[in-house]
C-alpha cells in the first residue's frame, strides 16, 4: 500500500498523489505512514539484490534535483514560466508539454488580470453592505494560483525522473532505468505518474522524428488531463456551475512570408459549457491549448520560438 492508497482508504474515493501536497495530508495518521513504509520495503525487496542500493541512491539523486527545481522555480507564476522553459530546454523541446504549460499560463495571467479589474468594484459594493465580490475575486485568484503551483510541483519530479531514466538507458544502464520507472515509487507519485514517466522515456527513444513527435504529443494530452484534474481538485467538490462562452487560447497563423506565428484569439466553447465539468473541460481545453499548437512539427516549432522569444529574455 502506497501513501496515496492510505489516503484513498480514508477518503473513500479515488485519490491522486498531488493531494498529498495539500490539506488532505493532514488526514494521514502515523499508521498510514507505517503501512506505506512497509509496502515500500516489500517492493524494494523484489528488486534484484545487486540493484537495490543503486536504485535507492539514484532515486534520491533525482528527488534532490527535483527539490532544487521546486525551491528555485515554484515561487510565483513568473518563476514557474522560467522553470517550464528550463524543463523544455532540458529535453531539447522534444516533449511539447512544457511549452503547452507556458501557453496555458499566458491564459492564467489574463484571468488574474481580469479578476483584479473586477476587484476595483469591490470597495463600492462593500460600502453598500455586500462582500460577495470580495470573496469571489479572492477565491478565484487563490484557485488559479494553487492550481498553477500544484501542477508544477506534481509534474517536475516526474518529468525529471523520466529524463534521468532516459539518460541511464542511453548510457546502457537499462536495468537501473527500468527500476526507477517500474519499481517502488516516491511518496509524491502515483500510478498515473508512473505511466507518464514511462511514456516520456519510451517516446524519447523512438527513432523516427515524426512518430516520436506523434507519441509525445499524445502524451502531452494525457499530461494535460492530469493538470486539469489538479484544477478540479483545487476548485473543490461544491460550487455552482460556471458557464463560459469562450477563452483566449493560442493558435498558429501563417504569415505573409510563409512562416508561422502564435497568436492568442478567442476559442469558442461548446454550448452549455460548464467550467466545473471536468470531462468537458479536458476535451475543450485540450483542443484549445494542446491540439491548437501541435497539429504538426512546424506549428510546434512556432510555439517553441514564441515562448523562447517571450520568456527566454528573463531566464
| Between residues 239 and 212, the one the model is more confident about | 212
Q: How do residues 22-36 score in pLDDT, each as one tens digit?
A: 899 999 999 999 999
DSSP symbol at 274: B
What burial letters (b/e) apply to 280-297, b meaning 16+ CB within 10 Å? ebbebbbebbbebbbeee
Residues paired with residue 262 on neighbouring β-strands, in sequence order:
252
Confidence of residue 125 (pLDDT cuts 50, 70, 90): very low
Share in percent of the chain as helix, strand, coil (round to 5): 70, 5, 20
Distance CA 173, CA 152 (A): 29
Distance CA 155, CA 189 (A): 9
pLDDT of residue 107: 78
Q: For the whole model, what pTM was predicted?
A: 0.90
Positive/negative CA dihedral, 102, 108, 114, 116: negative
Residue 304 · residue 99 · CB < 8 Å: yes
pLDDT of residue 118: 45
Residues paired with residue 260 on neighbouring β-strands, in sequence order:
254
pLDDT of residue 114: 59
- What are φ and ψ of residue 243, in 5° steps? -80, 135
Q: Is the pLDDT of residue 258 over 50?
A: yes
| Between residues 145 and 53, the one the model is more confident about | 53
Distance CA 70, CA 30 (A): 26
Closest CA to 52 of 40, 64, 37: 40
Looking at every residue in the chain, the average pLDDT score rounds to: 90
Residue 2 · residue 185 · CB < 8 Å: yes
Q: Is the pLDDT of residue 282 over 90?
A: yes
Q: Is the pLDDT of residue 94 over 70?
A: yes
Residue 290 · residue 104 · CB < 8 Å: no
Q: Taking the chain, what is the end-to-end CA distance rounded to the nearest angstrom? A: 41
Amino acid at each position: 500500500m502506497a501513501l496515496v492508497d492510505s489516503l484513498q482508504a480514508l477518503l473513500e474515493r479515488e485519490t491522486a498523489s498531488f493531494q498529498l501536497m495539500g490539506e488532505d495530508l493532514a488526514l494521514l495518521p502515523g499508521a498510514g505512514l507505517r503501512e506505506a513504509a512497509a509496502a515500500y520495503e516489500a517492493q524494494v525487496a523484489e528488486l534484484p539484490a545487486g540493484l537495490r542500493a543503486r536504485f535507492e541512491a539514484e532515486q534520491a539523486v533525482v528527488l534532490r534535483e527535483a527539490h532544487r527545481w521546486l525551491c528555485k522555480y515554484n515561487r510565483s507564476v513568473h518563476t514557474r514560466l522560467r522553470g517550464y522553459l528550463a524543463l523544455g530546454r532540458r529535453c531539447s523541446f522534444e516533449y511539447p508539454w512544457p511549452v503547452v504549460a507556458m501557453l496555458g499560463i499566458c491564459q492564467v495571467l489574463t484571468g488574474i488580470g481580469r479578476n483584479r479589474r473586477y476587484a476595483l468594484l469591490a470597495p463600492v459594493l462593500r460600502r453598500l453592505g455586500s462582500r460577495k465580490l470580495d470573496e469571489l475575486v479572492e477565491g478565484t485568484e487563490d484557485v488559479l494560483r494553487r492550481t498553477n503551483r500544484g501542477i508544477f510541483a506534481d509534474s517536475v519530479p516526474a518529468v525529471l525522473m523520466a529524463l534521468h531514466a532516459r539518460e541511464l538507458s542511453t548510457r546502457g544502464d537499462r536495468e537501473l532505468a527500468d527500476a526507477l520507472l517500474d519499481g517502488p515509487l516516491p511518496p509524491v507519485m502515483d500510478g498515473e505518474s508512473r505511466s507518464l514517466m514511462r511514456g516520456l522515456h519510451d517516446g524519447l527513444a523512438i527513432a523516427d522524428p515524426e512518430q516520436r513527435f506523434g507519441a509525445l504529443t499524445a502524451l502531452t494530452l494525457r499530461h494535460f488531463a492530469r493538470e486539469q484534474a489538479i484544477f478540479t481538485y483545487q476548485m473543490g467538490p461544491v460550487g455552482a456551475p460556471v458557464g463560459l462562452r469562450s477563452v483566449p487560447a493560442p493558435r498558429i497563423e501563417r504569415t505573409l512570408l510563409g512562416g508561422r506565428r502564435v497568436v492568442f484569439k478567442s476559442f469558442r466553447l461548446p454550448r452549455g459549457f460548464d467550467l466545473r465539468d471536468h470531462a468537458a473541460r479536458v476535451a475543450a481545453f485540450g483542443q484549445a491549448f494542446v491540439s491548437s499548437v501541435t497539429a504538426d512539427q512546424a506549428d510546434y516549432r512556432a510555439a517553441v520560438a514564441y515562448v523562447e522569444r517571450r520568456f527566454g529574455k528573463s531566464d
